[in-house]
Structure 1
Amino acid sequence: MTQLETAITAVTVYPDRARVTRSGKANLVAGEHRIRVAPLPTGLLHDSIRVAGQGDVTVLGVDIVTERQAATSDEQVADLLARMRTLDAAMTELADADRAAEARVAFLKRLAQQSAERLAKADEDRVIEFADSLEAQYGAVHAARRERERLRQEHIREHQALERQLADLRGKDRTDIKVAVITVDAAQPVTVDLEVSYVVPSARWYSTYDLRLGETGLTLRWFGLVLQSTGEDWPECRLQLSTARPAQALDVPELDPWFITAEAPPARMYRKASRMAGSADMSADTVSFGAPGGAMPAAAMPAPRMRESVATVEQGVTAATYTPQRTVAVPSDGTSHRTVITALDLEAQLDHVTAPVRSLEAVLRATARNTSEHTLPAGRAALFHDTEYVGATDLETWAPGEERELALGVDDRIRVERELVRRNATKATLGSTRRTEVEYTITISNHGARPATVTVLDRLPVSRDAAITVRETTAKPQPADRDELGVLTWKTALAPRADTTITFGYRVESAKGVTIYGLDD
């Protein structure tokens, strides 16, 4: 059997797996050969193995087998442990010598203190001789201490190296490995270039984005984050990111019969979904980038922009494959490694949305269209206003030509106030009804230097009981939209440094003895 030395030369990563390609060269004489490729990841999918290449040979078959791997010998482990124990003993001796040196230094200090009074009466030569002796002994002690510290650091480095060798030996102490055995037939002596590819789980890639709002518009940068724990490290090689989902393309969808019956279904609990600010009608005028009087005029003389290194794309029937220009090494440790896929300038219109009954903040909203050929997968997007990070949002899958509303963060230049200006409640008397009248004002101020279009959302209570009625009493100006769930929508255009006020009110009436629940905001 011929052992083929291979290296990973290409990896295609899918959202939940990866296809790895190994390449190697073999010199064969005429006849039938069995070529061994090992070790391979233990989790590879057996039915995914493929062989290709160049050379005048016939591939007769490919088998995946499990081979027993010789365990690390006990002698190697014992030798490493013995050397580590020797180093431990040497470092213990150095520590003992340090303690003895500390005792010697303490003794010299006491000796100097005890001799100070006696030497004060001695002649100068004896004092100098004693001082020189102390200096020499101190010097010898400190020199020996420095030498022991040097030896200690050498022992520590050697001990760490032995620990790594021991960990490597124990890490390789596996009982079996996966091996690909390729059977080929050569009609004559030949040199063949073989490629072995296989699919492994425990690998994936996902999308993240940067959404940057600047003077020239809205820019989206798309990144692919690759991570894997397949058991083999991927070096810098031809890396491709595919949007195909092999596990979800195996069955043609079918429908089961739809039965109806006269029997009442069991009672179910329903929860009313809250209406979000982003669900406002988009039929009103919005501000376009670069439009006369718009929110984002272009700079007179823009500086040249940095060029992006983007991936090349191959569009398939149901998926796309991206090849980043910069290769990325991905170790098998589960950490993510980022590569740039593309950068897009989006056509977008801006406006603001506020629902002051929920929050006195105005959210900057962009209505953008994907004018590229890319289908952008779902992912997390970081939001920037120029260079300032303002938050993050989640993007759903975004197809070419599709329009999407994007929340770009709170704009503090649009100030919102909501005030209860009137609340009257009357008690029910004999034959009368109980009445509650409420009135609010909402003030919106544009403190920015550009015009702004603001959509304001508020609501009226909705009765679920025939004994309770709700009537709108005032609305100035009239809402642009009302729906059956009581949501009112105003749209207003504010000049710079301008403000506007909205007033609305309602009346709630109920019969005597009827308790109203949920009326308070």
Structure 2
Amino acid sequence: MESISKAEYNVRNLKTRSVTLFPSRAQICRELKDIPLHPGTNEITIIGLSPTVDEQSIKVEGSGSAIISDIAVESLPNRDIFEDIYPEFEQDKTKNEAEDDVSESDEEPEFPESAELQAAKNHVKDLLDLLKAADESERAAEKRQASLDSTTVTLNWESKVDVEETMDSVSRARDKLATRRIEAARRQRELSQPLAKARQQADRLGKLHRREKARATQEAKRVRLAKTKAKLQESRREEERLKEKARKRKEYEKFWPKYCYAVRIQLVANAFTPSTSRRASVSSDVDMVVELAAPDANEQPRTIDLVLSYVTTSAYWSPSYDLQLSTTNATGQLCFDAQIHNTTSETWDKCKITLSTSLAAFSVLEETMPSLVPWHLELAPKEGPAAVEDNAVLYSKEEKMYKAKPLSSWGKKSHTSAEKSRSEMFGTSSPPTATAMASMNPAHVQLATQQAAQQAAMQQQQRQRQLLAQQQQQMQQQQVQMQQIQQMPQRNIQNFLNQPANSAMQQSMAPSFETASTTSTEELQHLDFQESLVEEMGFSTSYDLPGLKTLAPKSSSSKQRVARLSFSNIHFCHTVVPKYRSAAYLSAKMLNSSKLTLLRGAVGVTLDGSFMGRTTLPKCGSGESVTLSLGVDPAIRVGYSQPEMKRATSGFFTKEDIKLYERVIRVENTRTTADAPVKLIVSDQVPLSKDESLRVELLKPEGLVVGAESQPAGEPGKDKDEDWGSAKAHLRKTGTIDWLVALQPGKSVKLSLEYLVATPIGNHAKQAWA
């Protein structure tokens, strides 16, 4: 059997040539240089590919003198040990706390007496001993005196005793005892004064010693307290270090694969002839080969180069924008950034990063402005109750629906999450059960609980991404609404929007594509990002990021600057649909005259230096205009009166029942410091008849005909607002009336809508459900 030379490579040790990021996936190219081959069959195994890799996308190419005979992909358990790959997360050695307790005793320190105090105490003791000896001598003399007296009394004088000699002996004995008593008393008197002085000196030195001992004890307590605080701080630092270590470990564990893919490549390397000796083959050979003879055992191993490419999910990029607008000079600046995500198990080190817009689709949540839909009426049956039927056409069904919707529900959508959990592909182990956790020590229980919480957090992030993906329809509705406004006669809208509001609005319409390092209006250079190189390729655009980048797996994304665009002569306009909501929606219309296509993505909007929030920037190609909704402008107050119905007087021969309906819109510009009027598009509607015998006629604004020129309209909202501005009304075939209003600062305008509904006698109008 032919022997096979085998070699194994881990993907983490392979050089990454390039990474191409798409909106939902990434393509990675890794290379193996100078792979030695032995004559015969060689098997090269590349292990460690992320479980998120699409195994059908794995492709192997290369260069060198060998033939690729077989490629196999299989899924294998991850046999790497987490602590071997990340040795910094090895378990810390536990400290012997008992030794620490022994080394730091809580007993009070000994404070020895001074030599002077000890000498004073010894002197007192010596004097006391001498005084005691004198006292004992005196008591002994007294006892002997008493004994002598007793003996003298009991002496038998009748016996033959020398009385004189006896008396002399007794007298001499008494004299001696008296002398002793006197000497002892004198000695006591002599010792009393020195003893008092010695005691006084000992007491003084004792007080001094006790004072110094108390001070030393207090100092020892202070030092002991300082050591305790230092130990507590060290314990807290150690606790924080362990928490940070556990946090990093959990972060790494989120991308630790439970299984990985392995690619087995079989190559045949034999004796070779020059490449011109045979025709080029269309098979999967890396180079042309002809087998001529048996391999030479002394032949040096040949080398080849391989390129491994594959596609993986969990790595993608999404556009992110930062838009700064100025209403004072009608300019804006847009920073186009790329949010790069890598949640695979692979690290792509020092490689070329390319962003591609292929199959780009993005969406986010935002509030949409309302848009009027046609309002149809039809005849009701004659037997309907008159009181009910008279009020049936006061409100359209859409108006009733919007009135019933609470204000807090604007812009909110329900969502569900159907994204698959990553727990099947990543993690060091499955979360333990409650029984298993009960048998674990507290540290392991805490770590397991944190792992379960981290997996829940990952699922929450996935649900958020799913939520963002489900809001595309809402943004599309907003674009349809803006298109409906743009469907007005172009000369009316363009003439209205293109009127210069101030001198700054008369600048050039064409924005310029700036570089990040220079600017014509600033003298100082600011720290900025490097921008990417842009390349158009068919239906997609590629952005080559400058330099070599490293993409390591992590939960957060990294930001890379793609480009910066400047806009001038931005048209700001307010849209008011009081029938659905009494508010003025501010919008900005910008022209993209750069060569870049702005992709749909989240944008942070800053208006006149104040951050407004985040919304969605729709896709905008080169040379196209984009209208961005900036939300409700609180400086524009909108009032919408309740509908009023009046019965028109009819003659004797009139065959119609006529009812007059009237609504009034009041718009006030509360800004008093602005230099230019604010532009508004105010929209309302009249119902449309679906029955020939039901007649609807517009009375105010006067002179409006579908397809005709706009007519002047509006009147001062207050008596003092005579110079309020101007307004023109236009009627669409859908029954919508648009007032193009230019309202001066601090002024208000009154827009009246009046129409009649005529029905045959005995009939009543009702809502028609289209």
TM over 0.5: yes
Shift of 1:303: 3.0
1:420-435 alignment runs, 5 A limit: 420=641, 423=644, 425-426=646-647, 433=657, 435=659
1:173-212 alignment runs, 5 A limit: 176-185=259-268, 189-212=301-324
CA distance, structure 2, for counterparts of residue 168 and residue 494 of structure 1 = 56
Question: Does the CA contact (< 8 Å) of 2:330 and 2:569 recur in 1?
Answer: no
Change (3 A) 1:371 1:180: same
CA distance, structure 2, for counterparts of residue 167 and residue 454 of structure 1 = 54
Shift of 1:18: 0.8
Shift of 1:22: 2.3
Which of the numbers 446, 449, 469 marks the counterpart of 2:675? 449
In structure 1, the residue matched to 2:505 is: 295
What secondary structure, in the 3-state scheme, does the structure 1 residue paired with 2:213 have? helix
Change (3 A) 1:498 1:238: same
Identity over aligned residues, as a percent? 20
CA distance, structure 1, for counterparts of residue 742 and residue 248 of structure 2 = 72
What secondary structure, in the 3-state scheme, does the structure 1 residue paired with 2:698 have? strand
Note if 1:370 corresponds to 2:375.
no
- Letter of the aligned partner of 2:573 in structure 1? H
Question: Does the CA contact (< 8 Å) of 1:65 and 1:178 recur in 2?
Answer: yes
- TM-score by length of structure 2 reads 0.50
1:48-447 alignment runs, 5 A limit: 48-53=57-62, 55-67=64-76, 70=79, 86-87=94-95, 90-91=96-97, 101=106, 123-140=203-220, 143=223, 149-150=230-231, 153=235, 176-185=259-268, 189-214=301-326, 215=329, 217-245=331-359, 278=482, 279-280=484-485, 281=488, 282-284=490-492, 285-288=495-498, 293=503, 295=505, 297=507, 302-303=521-522, 309-325=530-546, 328-346=549-567, 349-355=570-576, 357=578, 358-411=580-633, 415-418=636-639, 420=641, 423=644, 425-426=646-647, 433=657, 435-443=659-667, 445=669, 447=672
Shift of 1:297: 4.9
Of residues 147-156 and 302-311 in structure 1, the stretch that sits farther from structure 2 once superposed is 147-156
What secondary structure, in the 3-state scheme, does the structure 2 residue paired with 1:129 have? helix
Q: Which deviations, in whole Å up to 9, do the C-alpha atoms of 1:223-264 show, x marking residues without a partner? A: 2212132222334531111112399xxxxxxxxxxxxxxxxx
Question: Does the CA contact (< 8 Å) of 2:255 and 2:343 recur in 1?
Answer: no
CA distance, structure 1, for counterparts of residue 501 and residue 313 of structure 2 = 50
CA distance, structure 2, for counterparts of residue 364 and residue 168 of structure 1 = 43
Shift of 1:336: 2.1
Q: Which deviations, in whole Å up to 9, do the C-alpha atoms of 1:299-325 show, x marking residues without a partner? A: xx9335867632112222222221122
Shift of 1:482: 1.4
- Letter of the aligned partner of 1:26 in structure 2? D
Q: Which deviations, in whole Å up to 9, do the C-alpha atoms of 1:389-430 show, x marking residues without a partner? A: 2233323332333333222445566x4544649945359999
What secondary structure, in the 3-state scheme, does the structure 2 residue paired with 1:127 have? helix
CA distance, structure 2, for counterparts of residue 204 and residue 28 of structure 1 = 35
Question: Does the CA contact (< 8 Å) of 2:51 and 2:257 recur in 1?
Answer: no
Of residues 308-317 and 286-295 in structure 1, the stretch that sits farther from structure 2 once superposed is 286-295
Question: Does the CA contact (< 8 Å) of 2:701 and 2:729 recur in 1?
Answer: no
Q: Of the two, which has the highest radius of gyration?
A: 2
CA distance, structure 2, for counterparts of residue 26 and residue 41 of structure 1 = 24
What secondary structure, in the 3-state scheme, does the structure 1 residue paired with 2:646 have? strand
From the two aligned structures, give the one with the greater helix fraction. 2
Structure 2 residue runs without a partner (length 5+): 1-5, 84-88, 109-201, 273-299, 362-396, 403-476, 509-519, 703-711, 714-727
Question: Does the CA contact (< 8 Å) of 1:424 and 1:436 recur in 2?
Answer: yes
In structure 1, the residue matched to 2:46 is: 37
From the two aligned structures, give the one with the greater strand fraction. 1
In structure 2, the residue matched to 1:483 is: 732
Shift of 1:344: 2.5
Note if 1:46 corresponds to 2:55.
yes
Of residues 273-282 and 15-24 in structure 1, the stretch that sits farther from structure 2 once superposed is 273-282
CA distance, structure 2, for counterparts of residue 382 and residue 373 of structure 1 = 22
Question: Does the CA contact (< 8 Å) of 1:6 and 1:37 recur in 2?
Answer: no
CA distance, structure 2, for counterparts of residue 512 and residue 95 of structure 1 = 105
What secondary structure, in the 3-state scheme, does the structure 1 residue paired with 2:620 have? coil
CA distance, structure 1, for counterparts of residue 82 and residue 569 of structure 2 = 67
Question: Does the CA contact (< 8 Å) of 2:598 and 2:619 recur in 1?
Answer: yes
What secondary structure, in the 3-state scheme, does the structure 1 residue paired with 2:206 have? helix
Question: Does the CA contact (< 8 Å) of 1:24 and 1:194 recur in 2?
Answer: yes
Change (3 A) 1:498 1:28: same
- TM-score by length of structure 1 reads 0.71
- Letter of the aligned partner of 1:239 in structure 2? I
CA distance, structure 2, for counterparts of residue 452 and residue 43 of structure 1 = 54
- Letter of the aligned partner of 1:200 in structure 2? T
Superposition CA RMSD, Å: 4.9
- Letter of the aligned partner of 2:732 in structure 1? D
Question: Does the CA contact (< 8 Å) of 1:287 and 1:295 recur in 2?
Answer: no
CA distance, structure 1, for counterparts of residue 663 and residue 563 of structure 2 = 51
Change (3 A) 1:160 1:64: same
Change (3 A) 1:514 1:351: farther
Of residues 11-20 and 382-391 in structure 1, the stretch that sits farther from structure 2 once superposed is 382-391
Shift of 1:143: 4.3
What secondary structure, in the 3-state scheme, does the structure 1 residue paired with 2:211 have? helix
CA distance, structure 2, for counterparts of residue 453 and residue 171 of structure 1 = 53
Structure 1 residue runs without a partner (length 5+): 75-79, 106-121, 248-270
Shift of 1:502: 3.2
Change (3 A) 1:123 1:170: same
